[in-house]
Structure formats: structure tokens, C-alpha cells
Amino acid sequence: MSDLSESSGHPELLVAEPLVRTEIKIGYARVSSGGQKLDRQIDALTAAGCRKIFADKKSGKSTLRPELKACRAFLDAGDALVVPSLDRYGRSLQDLINMIAELRERGIRFTSLHENLDTTTPGGRLVFHVFAALACHGHDHSTESGAPSAIAARQRSTWPVTSSMNQHMIS
């Protein structure tokens, strides 16, 4: 398994959770436009036990998300960042991989409610590692616009399988 993590460029993805856990959960929510409401996301984050919630009304494609920047600055080692779903946090699969790896380096746990992904569990780390492998494969074999469609497909509980993916999985 270490060969896979090294080849993905993120050998730390499968390591155990941070030694110090504060049990503090910080939430981040986002809607794409001012006309959309954050209520459902904030309710879900509150129900998950988040003590503080940051929320942006910006497109996920925008790198200028002030509340995300404030949220990341607010987090301390041992805290957990909780998001309603992966597409609310990252702009692409590769972006998610990079952002979650940066949290991991800082000793911050990550949980996505919709996908039931928790990087403090062995299963959560494995799923995240699979995401990293898919991102590397996708980067080599498709356009960057393929990552958002993969995230959207995951939310529908189906993954698009291309002929190149079938060939890669067989070999």
C-alpha cells in the first residue's frame, strides 16, 4: 500500500489520526450565489456538533473565498474541519486532495457529512487514498473538467466508468 501512496505524491494520506484531538469541530459551508440559502448546510453542521461555522456565498471556482481563508486560519492542530459535502469545499478533485493533505500536515482532521468521509478512520483514509489515486489517473487521462463531474457522480452514488478506466482497472 505504501507504493500506492508514494506514487500519488501523498505518502502521509494513510497515517493514523493526529496524536492530540481537541474534539473541536469547525464547519465550513458554501453556496454558489447570493440567491441560494445556507440554512440546510448550517443546520447539518450544527447537528454534527460544530462550535463555529464559516460560510461563503461564492462560486466554488473562485479562489477568493474569504470565509474559507478565515476558517483555515482559525483551525488548530487536533481540530476537525467538517463540511456538508466535498463539492462545498474544493473546486476539483485535485484541489480537494491538496487542501485535505494540507490540513493533514497541520494535524487537522477532515469530515464530509454527505459522503460520510472521516479521515480519522482507517476506512476514511482508504477512501481518501482512492480519491487521490483517481485524481492522479484523471490528471493523466482526462481534462480538468472531469473532476467536478466525478464529484457530482459520487453524489448520485454512481461513478462514470470510461473505457480508459476499465483498461487501467483490468491491467
Active site residues: 32
Which element (helix H / strand E) includes 152?
A: helix 146-155
Query: According to DSSP H, which parts of 14-76 are helical?
Result: 39-47, 66-74
Q: What one-character DSSP code corresponds to residue 168?
A: H
Residue appearing with cell numbers 466535498: 86
3-state DSSP call for residue 30?
strand
Q: Please list, in sequence order, all residues whose beta carbon lies within 8 angstroms of the beta carbon of residue 66, skipping any fewer than 6 positions away.
A: 56
